[in-house]
Each structure stands twice: as structure tokens, then as C-alpha cells.
Structure 1
């Protein structure tokens, strides 16, 4: 992957692509509004700065995932949290200003050092904001140092190039002002500022992509590669919801995270992603009763979708928290127990099927459950004595059921030892053949 200083042409050409060029032109025309009265110009200026910075954050965020061509932008790639990034960046600047003012009050030299450190940290601050959408993370020195360390020596070179680009604004204006009419001065200044802002955004995003592994970024595609294939809208929405909940948890707002996840799983009762998200959040709380209640709905959905491995994991998380936890459905209980037995998890089989007869009295699948218990006790846990007791109960209650005959075949050696004769003759029934 070429370093960013070898991609300068692409950064300077980005604002000239179709979408950013049209948007920049429209915003530049809004520069005429800056020529109104003070209050009107102030409002227009804030609106322009917000629009320009929002697009800049979007450009950098998408470039960090490898999307450098505006023609590849799609609505499902966007994150609503990006809209608040300009305000969060303003909050970071306020914090930096407070620290600089405080240190300058102690010593002018300290104030100068703080100002220099703040300037050097701004690119990393933008990267952390884009990556986490968290104001708290953006003012965390350890997050900033981790980002700088992930980029390495080229971080200082990035700071130098960004500084030179910032100087490009007054230089470009100095060249253009003598040759342009006065009435287009405001739109011209606006366009120049937009142009260099988006060039810097494209550069920062590419540097983030260049170090995506160190910055824990999942790229969508490689820059300049084939156009990205459309992502499944449902998968994109699930990813967006996961990121939103993760940010809320990271910010310590567990209540909002749970409220959102609960509502999504309520309306998306057949959506495994929504149910999985809520289950994982409940595991982070002490609400064992809610965890168990939700599992009664989530596990059948997973079994229905043939995700028995995940269903067994969900059951296990509930069983660890509440050993008395049992599934309401006999069919789903037996399905999980059979899957556990395929993985030779005899402990899970026995835990799932304990109390099956009492919980589902008279159920027509009880002999199948008892036969599986016999298998788990004899072949998995090596407890033939307990397996014999279960078999004797089967022999009394379900003498003609195929499951009873299968259990008899499994215990043929133990029955012969106990009875001292062939188990088929002792029981009066033909022995079941091996499966």
C-alpha cells in the first residue's frame, strides 16, 4: 500500500469529483449570505461550517474504510452518529482551550508547550472521533497516544502536510483576490476553505485506512479497487445498531443501550441479530430473570434457524447464572440435548434433561429423553448404575417403546452382569439391534 505522501494527487482531486464538487458549489453560493447583517451572517456562517465539517467527517470516515471515490457512497454506509462529530470536535477544542489557558496562567512557557501539544494531537483527535464517535475517548490522552503509536513515525509527517495545507488557504486567496470581482469574494473564500478542508479530510481518512489494523478498523474495500458490492440492508442495519449500542455501553449509558435493544428485539421477534444483541446486553447486567425470560424466546428461534450451537451457548449462559433454568418447550429441550450429545457434551445433556418427566408429564417424547439420558450416563459419564436405574423406570412405564429397546441394547453388558443371563431372555423381549 503506497504511503499517503505518494497519493497527494488523489487527495487534491477528491473535491473535484462529481458529488463533492456539486455540494461545494452549492455551499459556496451560500457564501453570499455572509454579506448580510451581523446576526444573519453569524447564523449563516455557523450553518456553513456545520455543513462543511459534517461532510468532511463523512469523507474521512468512509476513506478510513477504503472508500475514496464518492461514486461508491451509499446511504447504508452512513452512520447517524457522524452528524454529531462537528459538535463533539468543538467540545474537544473547548477542553484544549481551557487546558492551554490554565497552563498559560501558571507559566507562559507551559502555555506555549500546551498549545504545541494540542496542535500535534488534533489529527489523532479527529481519528479517534471518527473511529469511536465518543467525546470522552477524544480527550483521553491514552486513546490519543495509542492512535499516534499505531500510525508511527509517519504521524509527524502527516501533521506537517496538514499544516502546509492550512497555509494553502491564505496563499490561494492571495493569488485569487487581485483578479476576481469583489462581489464574488465571499463565495470564492468559501469555496477555497471547503476545498482545502475536504482535501485534508481525504488525507486523514487514507492514513487511517493505511493503518486500519492498528486502529481496529474493518475496511470495506481497498482504495482504487473494484467498486464495492452492495451490502445487505438488514446486515448494514444490524451493524449500525451494534455500533450504537457499543458506544452507549462504552459511555456508561447502559440504560439507554438496554432500552434500545429491548425495543428492537420486541419488534424484531424473528430477527436473530436483534435478539442476540439484547441477550448479550442482559449478560452484562444482574437481571438473571430477564435473561432467562428472553432465552425462552431466543433459543426456539435459533433452533428453528438451525443454529443449535448458538442456542446451546445461550442456554449455557442462563444455566450458569440460574442452575434451575429449564426450557418451557419439550421439543426444543430435546433438540438441544441431541445436539449436545453429538458433541459428546454429556454434562450438558444431563443438565438439559434433568427433571424432564416432571416438567412435561405424559409427554410422548419422554421415552426419547430417557433413552438419551441412558446414553449420556453410560457412554459419556461412565455411570452405568445410574443408567440402569433410568432404564428400569423406562422398562416399567414404556416397555414397548423403541427407545426402551435401544436403552436395553446400550446396557446389554451391564444387564448381563446384574442378571447373570442374556438381557433379552431376562426381559422377555428381543434385543434391539445396534444402530
Structure 2
């Protein structure tokens, strides 16, 4: 059969939140309704979109893992004609038998880990397949191999019905696409497009490196790659969004905005039909709607490197405060550049009414420190109070004199300066 020209792929760059099963489920449902409205064949949501990521020690709670699996079932029950890919931690006995997601790939040790970092395929009211993440990172903020068993490299492909005939696609999860040999393997096995779900945290320069990796992977496999990422801050991690689609020549076709929820939809030119050498899960969509025309896909411009870093800092502070219920922040302002930077980030994240500065002059403070702090507060439009700490400092120095040593005893004067800094924390 002649290969159809395109696969209509929708990418939902969601700000999923760890542990918020109901909120994440609602966000996925809203994305599914949008994908239906644009006649998408496939909707991609981020890695672990059902639970948020990184899930960490919640995965040791059987009740949470069971609730996450039930969330997948709930989403499947309301799924429609769009093939929706969601991420969740699924026990092997909750994974479909077909497709090979239950099977264990490479292992680091002898510990049996029955969970898989899975991309579940939902359509027409049920779970129709799944793919288990193959490469489990254990560096930086990642600890996947502690919780999950690795999926095999030769898991099944998926045949997705389109108005022009079926398209054979491969699913990969995050780290998998950073190994170009995996993309080449699935392409050689018959995949006409590679669809990747991700929760890829921000690092300085990461967006440019990510695009380079996707281009190299696409060229290595002569296959297009659609890559959806999460967005927003989760504790100490910030996901920078910037979801990408590249064609088989590595050319950028679409890019979502950075550091914010966004959506992309496009008709992805797929690779020509190839001999298939793996099992294929035939996805049933029910009725396949005809496609209405689309506007040209969005290609968001990359951020300036300084704007990229600044936006990451602001996003991390804003989402942390919002998600843990901190409506206001209080900062000590010393007149130095470090506190000035922290205050400016806080104002950009939360607004001036939510930020309060406190100047705390002590015996080691320069005369201009309070003036500089007051000028900063005025420039930012935040409240500023002055609370002198010289008397409190003298009291504590007297109490510690016999332990640390007073003048003439050879005690390091830096110890007394640090006392002032610690007192500000009080």
C-alpha cells in the first residue's frame, strides 16, 4: 500500500503536577477535547502526565500507584476517536498483554521492579496498548532505575488509522530519544514516524541541545520525530516546554513556546511505508473523521540565552509558591546584588504586592546598605521595613564570648561577621 502523506499530530504541552491526579486528569481531558476539535489522529501528552514527574517516593505507596492506574482507566473510558498517549507508572499486571510493554529489558541489579514508566495508548473507550521506557536515567534529578523496570528495545509498533490509511508509528519516552540508535532501530523495524513523550528538565542551553539531538535522531532513522515536553516548575525542577517536531531531514517544522503551557497541531509528513519486522498493535479508533484544513504550524522563536535563564528562575519561583500555597514572600535586603536579584525574581514571579523586603543593619553593615536596599524596594514597588539588629547582635556576642573568644584572643573575626548573617535569619 502506498504510504499516506501525513499523520495529524497534536501535542499538548501540559503543566502537570506531581500527585494531583484529578487536576492532571482534567488537563488531559481538556487537551483531548481540543485534539478532537482539530481532527487530530494522535494526541501526545508529556511523560508521566497522569501523575506528574518526578514522582519519586510516591511510587513506594501502593495506594497511589493503584490510583494512578485507575486514572488511566478513567481517561481511557472517555477517550474518543483521537489516539491519546498518556504517561503513568503502571504495574506490569495493569499493562496490556500485547505489545511487549510487560517484558523486562536490561537490568542494573537483581531487584525485581514491577513498575514501568509507561506511555499508554488510549482510543475508542479503552487502553489499547502501551510502551515502557527503555533507558532509565539515574543522573542529575533522575532516579528512574530505582523505581522502574526497563522496557525491552524491541517493543511493538502501533498502526494508527488515518483518513488516508494506517500509519505505523513508534513510541519512545524521554531519555530513549537521546540515544539515536533507538530511533534508527524503530525506523529500521518499520516505523514511519516516532512519537516521544517527555518530562525534560531545563538546564542552561538545553533547548538548543535538545533540537540538535532530535535532528540527529531523525536523520539517523530517516524518520520524522514529534516530541512533546512538560512545562512549569515542580519543586527544584523546571520543565521548559519548547515541544518540537522535525521532519525526516531534521528540519524544524513546529515548536511550542518555552516555559508555559502550549499546544501544537500539524500534518506531519511521514516516512514511506517500510517492511515491518516487529509486532504491530492495530489501534482501533472507531470512526475516523475527515480532516478539516489547518493553519500553518507555529514555530516559536528561541529565547535569548539570558532571557532563557531568567524565565527559568521566575517560573521555578512562581510555580513553587503557587503549588505549595505561599501567597507572599519576605526577603532580607542587604543592599547587595544577591538579595537584589532574589527580590527582582520574586517580583517578576508573584508581583510587587506579594513581596516584602526587610533591611536589617548591624555593626558590620555599611552606611549605604540600607539606602541601596530602600532604593531597590522603591524601584520594584515593594514594601520595605528596617529592623536594626545591633542590640540583638551585641547580646548574642556577649553570650558567646567565652566560647568563641573576644577581642585580643585570636578568634577569627569572620566568625563574628557570620553571627550577624545568621541573626538575620532569626
TM range (shorter): under 0.3
- TM-score when scaled to structure 1? 0.23
Structure with the higher fraction of residues in helix conformation: 1
Structure with the higher fraction of residues in strand conformation: 2
